[in-house]
Structure 1
């Protein structure tokens, strides 16, 4: 690092706004929310999402209540185009949700973008071109009039393409990309020229997205830029000002909140802040910050664990353990004094007659997010076990014990390394079936069994059954204080040692007459390695027997 960084870097200039109003305002209503997870967030991934993950992510965004979703960059390639057109064609977009696509200001790209949305009930087409000095001079070698003309020509193409598909309710968004490092008056000039072409009205406003494409200044300067733009753009009642902050300086959330104070109407970002470089603004944090101030954000994060698992699975990126509201350690205190204060806070909260939340160290009630102080969020996303376990739970109803999650995650990692491609839900399930011999392909395969009480000892059970061992059907029997222990004893000879049960658990899959049982066992033979097994059946006893044999097949 330089001893005098001023030789290389300059402070960002202030905005001349001596009568700024935003510092004395408060946020009184939730903005319009737009998720860019499927476009901006997806293009920032080392391994971009395939169709299955994009659909899973889209469904999550709809579930939490986001009404505007940027679903992709249709001109980027066949994968993007096919996903977007498939959403529209198959009716997967709810009536109260608008999808958005992004395009540069080029005729072929704009034409492709409109074609991807053919047949949509309503949609937003987002046009952009960079306007700041560095991009004009270094990247494009263009003058201000030339840059402005790019925006004008793009706006004309939006207008004409929309007229050619009149059955869709078209909405337009324009971004003077690199707004935060551009001259404010030039951004206003370009946006005004776009308005002259598209002619927005209060009933059908244009969206002007004012991105901090690269965060280069303190958040108060961004707020000044937003307020200045809002004061000076013509026909303000026909304009939706949208914020798109990145996090290069680590103040993306602050810049967004101050931008809302400065008069913005809409916020673009990603769940948990994924995005290029240091990421886009985190929509979850911005929304829950509002929630803790008594303002409904209009988004539902009451099952934040599901949101975390979905995002981690789709992005293959971890949510940091200290991430606001969502990290696995944010409701955990290791300091004794902190623990004492929190416990006393819970006790006092239970005794008060009002619902006002006042618990030391906890700005939000974990129960509002589907969590509790005692039940700490535990998702080891670095190893990927949380995401894999979630897929099995979502698609097959299995709730793997934590140790079994870790045991299986190594198998998935090996599969991922060997295939060198994205693993689908089917890949994971087939790997799970193979790893725990759920198709009866191991040494031990259950044919039939009976359990009975010993005629001599009331607390003793007898297992008697037929098991195919190494391809040969054999009759086996054993005694113990229950079904599991009697089966373990029955297998001792075939296993060459005593099968010791370390842990056992079970749960129901589904409800009513269609419910099944899932059983899990952790055990070992003598001093051998720990073995895990799983059994599934409509009968709890059969599920338990299958779990033991599943583990024995790994010996």
Structure 2
């Protein structure tokens, strides 16, 4: 069968993107060791991409969140486009903290630039961002202009911005920055892009203290991310007065490589990254600032953005964009820290048990501590019919402090699997805890009931001889109090003997485990006993008991087994 993409004309229809002639490229041997300057374009580029653009109130809420979590440069609007955009720019100017720079965008059209600058009046820090398409495709197909015409327009408009901002005596109260974008840089001849930017730089007159920002966008992602890195390194090494320039990246995600492109391009020399929270934007989106920031965080680099309450950021983004975050989106997706697979759950559980005392995070399958983004550990392991023993055991450990022995983990996992198959869905943590307490007769309702289950009323352990223990006690069953007596070499064996004496039931203890839970005066003993019962065939059951007294906890474990055997109609009394 011929695939839909197989086409004899494909080599005529599509051409491979030409590589960059950069024989001595340096970026592959470098590593990231600091965060870039960040620019959020959510309120401008991200907003323009929405089927239903944000309301003014939503934009205000979004803006305040961006400021709260630490973004210092925010592109807020296209103020010449509408009165709403102009008015929102005024809101941002009037409410932004002194260390936050308000950025606005305009094309290289003189009649729009005056209105754009006017929107920034009295700002503390402001960046005017102009763009003009420089690629051959856009010059020929969209605008019908020559290389020289584009260059002249870029210089003319840059000089206009300068005259209206830093050269205007009435505008000296504002720290003015200037950003220029050779739009469609990713498809522009590199030498021509450098030539345009050299002319723009000369027209603006930057300094080391206030560098010009050259935004080099992958307006359309057209090649592998290493090619974009080559383009950035070529530009960085061919532009003059590099110390007076901030190289900014604006990757789109048409090929699904925006994250990689942004990271490699930083290695290639870029200083700044522009994008949106969770990658909203035109077509397949702008680069995802959350993923970029938390990628740095997991490498021990402070992104200078506060993602500790990621849920509140997700809430803002989903409500204002009216687009849900994908459940598998890196870091922010609702399922990304969840393990359903049994082998994954077992590895995660063991990782937590062996977590380094020095604080280094080394947990299988979890590159980031969920707590660092405000998620509870209960969200890490979720249990369904595909889960193994480790997942349920981990939730019981986190919820009840019960560290189940391996054999009990296996036994309980079968109970969990059966329940999940009946429900046809995963079990929530509390449902799983309730199931465990019911299965092993630990719930308060069962403990207080004397109708259908065996319960311990009272008992004593005495020493008739040096090597003998005697159990004397009362248990309740079916509204009756039953007296028991038995002997053995300890509390467990003497109780088993008492059960045999009264009911003719032989319980053989195969495994015993115990540990303490709680601290100080609230410490209790948790006991786990594996019992073999043989009638026509050998049947194995686990019992669980919890009490301040370890002997009573052990007796409760045995009663747990007895209750299970009775309820399953293995024994009759």
Supply the distance in 2 between the matched residues of 1:332 and 1:313 (Cα, whole angstroms). 24
Q: Does the aligned pair in 2 maintain the 1:105–1:150 contact within 8 Å?
A: yes
User: Aligned residue for 1:411?
Assistant: none
Q: Does the aligned pair in 1 maintain the 2:339–2:380 contact within 8 Å?
A: no
User: Aligned residue for 1:62?
Assistant: 67
- The reply on whether 1:364 has 2:373 as its aligned counterpart is no
Alignment partner of 1:180 out of 159, 180, 186: 186
Supply the distance in 1 between the matched residues of 2:181 and 2:220 (Cα, whole angstroms). 14
User: Aligned residue for 2:151?
Assistant: 148
Q: Does the aligned pair in 1 maintain the 2:340–2:381 contact within 8 Å?
A: no
Supply the distance in 2 between the matched residues of 1:80 and 1:159 (Cα, whole angstroms). 22
Q: Does the aligned pair in 2 maintain the 1:40–1:276 contact within 8 Å?
A: yes
Shift of 1:331: 1.0
Cα displacement string for residues 494-524 of structure 1 (whole angstroms, at most 9, x for unaligned residues): xxxxxxxxxxxxxxxxxxxxxxxxxxxxxxx
Cα displacement string for residues 225-282 of structure 1 (whole angstroms, at most 9, x for unaligned residues): 0000000101000000000000000000000000000010000000000000000000
User: Aligned residue for 2:195?
Assistant: 189
User: Aligned residue for 2:172?
Assistant: 166
- The reply on whether 1:95 has 2:101 as its aligned counterpart is no
Distance change >3 Å, CA 192–CA 229, structure 1 → 2: same
- The reply on whether 1:242 has 2:242 as its aligned counterpart is no
Instruction: Describe how 1:439-518 pairs up with structure 2 within 5 A.
Output: none
Supply the distance in 2 between the matched residues of 1:76 and 1:184 (Cα, whole angstroms). 31
Shift of 1:320: 0.3
Instruction: Describe how 1:73-92 pairs up with structure 2 within 5 A.
Output: 73-88=78-93, 91-92=94-95
Cα displacement string for residues 403-426 of structure 1 (whole angstroms, at most 9, x for unaligned residues): xxxxxxxxxxxxxxxxxxxxxxxx
Q: Secondary structure at the match of 1:76?
A: coil
User: Aligned residue for 1:111?
Assistant: 114
Instruction: Describe how 1:146-545 pairs up with structure 2 within 5 A.
Output: 146-162=149-165, 163-164=167-168, 165-349=171-355, 352-375=356-379
Shift of 1:86: 2.4
Q: Does the aligned pair in 2 maintain the 1:151–1:190 contact within 8 Å?
A: yes
Aligned residues: 374
Supply the distance in 2 between the matched residues of 1:309 and 1:53 (Cα, whole angstroms). 12
Shift of 1:178: 0.2
Cα displacement string for residues 434-489 of structure 1 (whole angstroms, at most 9, x for unaligned residues): xxxxxxxxxxxxxxxxxxxxxxxxxxxxxxxxxxxxxxxxxxxxxxxxxxxxxxxx
Cα displacement string for residues 514-553 of structure 1 (whole angstroms, at most 9, x for unaligned residues): xxxxxxxxxxxxxxxxxxxxxxxxxxxxxxxxxxxxxxxx
User: Aligned residue for 1:129?
Assistant: 132
Distance change >3 Å, CA 2–CA 375, structure 1 → 2: closer
User: Aligned residue for 1:48?
Assistant: 53
Cα displacement string for residues 127-184 of structure 1 (whole angstroms, at most 9, x for unaligned residues): 1000001001000111110111110111011111112322211100000000010000
Taking structure 2 as the reference length, the TM-score comes to 0.64
Supply the distance in 2 between the matched residues of 1:242 and 1:373 (Cα, whole angstroms). 37
Q: Does the aligned pair in 2 maintain the 1:126–1:174 contact within 8 Å?
A: yes
Q: Does the aligned pair in 2 maintain the 1:332–1:373 contact within 8 Å?
A: no
Q: Does the aligned pair in 2 maintain the 1:327–1:377 contact within 8 Å?
A: no
Cα displacement string for residues 371-394 of structure 1 (whole angstroms, at most 9, x for unaligned residues): 13313699xxxxxxxxxxxxxxxx
Q: Secondary structure at the match of 1:74?
A: coil
User: Aligned residue for 1:431?
Assistant: none
RMSD, aligned CA: 1.2
Q: Secondary structure at the match of 1:180?
A: helix
Q: Does the aligned pair in 2 maintain the 1:331–1:373 contact within 8 Å?
A: no
Supply the distance in 2 between the matched residues of 1:183 and 1:302 (Cα, whole angstroms). 42
Q: Does the aligned pair in 2 maintain the 1:371–1:377 contact within 8 Å?
A: no
Q: Secondary structure at the match of 1:75?
A: coil
Q: Which consecutive unaligned segments of at least 5 residues does structure 2 have?
A: 383-573
Supply the distance in 2 between the matched residues of 1:261 and 1:377 (Cα, whole angstroms). 36
Shift of 1:22: 0.2
Q: Secondary structure at the match of 1:312?
A: helix
User: Aligned residue for 2:141?
Assistant: 138
Supply the distance in 1 between the matched residues of 2:6 and 2:130 (Cα, whole angstroms). 40
Structure with max Cα Rg: 2
Supply the distance in 2 between the matched residues of 1:76 and 1:346 (Cα, whole angstroms). 54
- The reply on whether 1:18 has 2:59 as its aligned counterpart is no
Taking structure 1 as the reference length, the TM-score comes to 0.66
Supply the distance in 2 between the matched residues of 1:51 and 1:293 (Cα, whole angstroms). 37
Q: Which consecutive unaligned segments of at least 5 residues does structure 1 have?
A: 379-555
Supply the distance in 1 between the matched residues of 2:283 and 2:98 (Cα, whole angstroms). 34
Q: Does the aligned pair in 1 maintain the 2:92–2:102 contact within 8 Å?
A: no
Shift of 1:348: 1.1
Alignment partner of 2:11 out of 6, 10, 18: 6
